[in-house]
C-alpha cells in the first residue's frame, strides 16, 4: 500500500501503556524497536478448536496441485477458496447449523442462499461466531514471518492472539504521532516477532495484516496440519 497523506492524529486513540519497569520482559522490546508493544492477549486456547481448524481449511486458498502451493500474504479471494472449489455456491440443500451459516456468509458473501440475521433475542453462540468481544469480519491472514511460522497455512477465521503496537509511520506516511495498530495471529506466539529490533513485517509494509484502532473502549487489532481430503460440510453438523 502506498499513500501520500494519512491523517490519524490527534484522535481518541488508545493511549500507549506506561513505560515498563526496567527489568520487565517488554522493557528490552521498547528499547530495541523504539515503539510501544502491548503484551499478547490470548483469544483462543493453545489448542486450536476443531471447528476453527475446519474453517481454516475451507477458507484457505485452493491449489490444484501441491506444486502450486504457496503461503499467502493476503486473504484469498472468496471464490478461490477450498469451499468454492469443492462445493457449488450457494450451498443449497446442506444441513448447516445457523452459527456456521453466519460465518460462511461473512467470509464468502453469497455462499448461503438465505443469510441468517440474528436479533438480540436470538444470538449465535459466542464460542462459534466470535472471539471474545470481536465479531468475525472475514478471512484473516497471520502476519508471522514464514521462517517462524510452523503451520503451512496462515489463514484464519478466529485469531488466537492479538497485540497492539504504537506506530509513527503507516504505509510509509507519517501520521503525526503514535497511533495504535492491532495485530492478529493465528496461533500463540505468532506475534512474538513484534518484539524484535527489525521485525519482518512493519506498518510501512503490510496494512492487510493489521487494523487501525480508533475506539476508546479497545474494541479493536500450534503446529496443526489439516488436510481437506475427504472433508465434507456435513462434518460440521452438531448432532447433540
pLDDT tens-digit series, residues 1-36: 677 888 777 777 788 777 767 666 666 566 556 678
Note the pLDDT of residue 146. Answer: 86
Q: What is the pLDDT of residues 32-49, one digit of tens each?
A: 566 788 889 999 999 999
- H/E stretch holding 212: strand 210-212
Q: What is the pLDDT of residues 179-208, one digit of tens each?
A: 889 999 999 999 999 887 554 444 443 444
The residue assigned the cell 504505509 is 171
Residues 6 or more apart in contact with residue 12 via CB below 8 angstroms: 214, 215, 216
Task: Identify whether 155 is preceded by a cis peptide bond (ω within 30 of 0).
Answer: no
* Residue 107, SS3 per DSSP: helix
Q: Is 111 exposed, middle or buried (0-12, 13-18, 19+ CB in 10 A)?
A: buried
What is the C-alpha separation between 19 and 27, in angstroms, rounded? 8
Q: Helix, strand, coil shares of the chain as percentages rounded to 5?
A: 20, 15, 60
Q: Is the pLDDT of residue 52 over 70?
A: yes
CA nearest 30: which of 175, 169, 38? Answer: 38
* Residue 236, SS3 per DSSP: helix
Going by the DSSP 8-state scheme, the letter that residue 171 receives in this structure is T
Compute the Cα dihedral for 206, 71, 185, 35 and give only its sign: negative
Amino acid at each position: 500500500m502506498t499513500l501520500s497523506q494519512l491523517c490519524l492524529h490527534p484522535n481518541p486513540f488508545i493511549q500507549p501503556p506506561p513505560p515498563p519497569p526496567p527489568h520487565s520482559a517488554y522493557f528490552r522490546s521498547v528499547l530495541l524497536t523504539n515503539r510501544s508493544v502491548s503484551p499478547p492477549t490470548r483469544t483462543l486456547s493453545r489448542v486450536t478448536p476443531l471447528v476453527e481448524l475446519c474453517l481454516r481449511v475451507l477458507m484457505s486458498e485452493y491449489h490444484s496441485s501441491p506444486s502450486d502451493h504457496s503461503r499467502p500474504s493476503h486473504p484469498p479471494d472468496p471464490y478461490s477458496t477450498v469451499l468454492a472449489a469443492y462445493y457449488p455456491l450457494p450451498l443449497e440443500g446442506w444441513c448447516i447449523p445457523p452459527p456456521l451459516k453466519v460465518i460462511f456468509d461473512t467470509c464468502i458473501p453469497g455462499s448461503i442462499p438465505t443469510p441468517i440475521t440474528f436479533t438480540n433475542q436470538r444470538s449465535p453462540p459466542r464460542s462459534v461466531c466470535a472471539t471474545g468481544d470481536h465479531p468475525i469480519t472475514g478471512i484473516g491472514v497471520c502476519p508471522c514471518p514464514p521462517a517462524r511460522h510452523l503451520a503451512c497455512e496462515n489463514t484464519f477465521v478466529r485469531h488466537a492472539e492479538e497485540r497492539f503496537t504504537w506506530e509513527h509511520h503507516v504505509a510509509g506516511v507519517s501520521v503525526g504521532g503514535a497511533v495504535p495498530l492491532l495485530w492478529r495471529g493465528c496461533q500463540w506466539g505468532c506475534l512474538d516477532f513484534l518484539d524484535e529490533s527489525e521485525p519482518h513485517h512493519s506498518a510501512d509494509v503490510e496494512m492487510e495484516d493489521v487494523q487501525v484502532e480508533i475506539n476508546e473502549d479497545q474494541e479493536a487489532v500450534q503446529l496443526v496440519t489439516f488436510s481437506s481430503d475427504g472433508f465434507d460440510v456435513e462434518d460440521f453438523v452438531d448432532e447433540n
